[in-house]
Amino acid sequence: METKTILIVDDEQITRQGLKKTLERWSQGKYEVLSAADGDEALEVFQKTKVHLLITDVNMPEMTGLALLKAVKEKGNKPVVIIVSGYPNFEYAQEAIRLGVINYLLKPVSKQKLIEAVEQALETEASIERADYIEKVADPKLLNIESSQTSKSPIREALQYVNNNLSRQISLKDVAGTVHLNPSYFSVLFKEQTRLTFSEYLTRKRLQTAKKLLLTTNLPIEEVAQETGYQTAKYFIKLFKEYEGITPSKYRKMAELEDSAI
């Protein structure tokens, strides 16, 4: 599992070290806590490391915290952000909100307030990551189908059977038999209730699972094909490209490039 990184940026050494020590004690090694003395040093960290949470002072020489945040966003990085300031400033706060800052803390920051803000920020970051992941993987048609079925319907049972046996060879006749329906009637009922043919549902489900495996594992393409019920990688690649517009290996590579840029 990826270790998440917190970056603290403050030109005041005592404050910077104090925040870092507090968060290191709190995290007990679960998070990597880095620090930078100014905006330029912070941008160097962003070039080398994926930063999940940025905690930055507003008032710094050369580059303010808000200027740093703008530069970070322009480079395609999307950390969640907590701003720390020595005094309340309505204009700074307004601009911070516009830039997506999720908390604005006034110095001196108590250990409890800092930890509460960091825990909330990391929960927000996890929610954003989940949403990004769902957007990459989820098939809207499948989400609609699975959410609209009642728990005792034969079509719901059929969907569960398919989902549990994706790596095996599945035929409409097999699934119809499992839910005790005539294959012809099952085919009509399936299309009526899902607005997809059984074959299209099976393909979409297999490709959704394939996308999940491509994003979350290092399995070779041949094994991804087998895990999703395709006997040959060649056919799997052809089908994947028809639906997604790119090959499975390119899909994986593009996702990796997006993640490294964030």
Q: Do 107 and 155 share a domain, yes or no?
A: no
Q: Looking at residues 110-129, what average pLDDT do you find? A: 92
Residues 188, 148: contact at Cβ < 8 Å? no
Q: Looking at residues 73-95, what average pLDDT do you find? A: 83
Q: Do 157 and 101 share a domain, yes or no?
A: no
Q: Do 170 and 234 share a domain, yes or no?
A: yes
Q: Do 119 and 178 share a domain, yes or no?
A: no
Q: Do 162 and 98 share a domain, yes or no?
A: no
Q: Do 93 and 159 share a domain, yes or no?
A: no
Q: Do 113 and 145 share a domain, yes or no?
A: no
Please say which residue of 98, 131, 164 terminates a domain: 131
Q: What is the pLDDT of residue 259?
A: 60
Q: Do 145 and 117 share a domain, yes or no?
A: no
CB environment 159-197: b (16+ within 10 A), e (fewer): beebeeebeeebebeebbebbebeeeebbebbeebbebe
At 131-162, the pLDDT tens digits run 787 778 888 888 888 777 766 789 999 999 99
pTM metric for this prediction: 0.65
Q: What is the pLDDT of residue 262?
A: 46
Domain CATH number, residue 102: 3.40.50.2300
At 207-255, the pLDDT tens digits run 999 999 998 888 999 999 999 999 999 999 999 999 999 999 999 888 7
At 10-26, the pLDDT tens digits run 999 999 999 999 999 99
Q: Do 218 and 167 share a domain, yes or no?
A: yes
Range of the domain at 92: 4-131
Given a cut of 80, is residue 90 above it in pLDDT? no
User: Of the candidates 62, 64, 61, 54, which has an alpha carbon nearest to the alpha carbon of residue 101?
Assistant: 54
Q: Do 231 and 157 share a domain, yes or no?
A: yes
Q: Do 70 and 167 share a domain, yes or no?
A: no
The number of domains in the chain is: 2
Stronger pLDDT, 100 or 177, i.e. the higher one: 177
Domain CATH number, residue 174: 1.10.10.60
Q: Looking at residues 174-203, what average pLDDT do you find? A: 96
Q: What is the pLDDT of residue 258?
A: 66
DSSP code of 2?
Answer: P
Q: What is the pLDDT of residue 92?
A: 73
Given a cut of 60, is residue 260 above it in pLDDT? no
Q: In angstroms, rounded to a whole number, what is the distance separating the alpha carbons of residues 151 and 78?
A: 39
Please say which residue of 106, 131, 156 terminates a domain: 131
Q: Do 100 and 153 share a domain, yes or no?
A: no
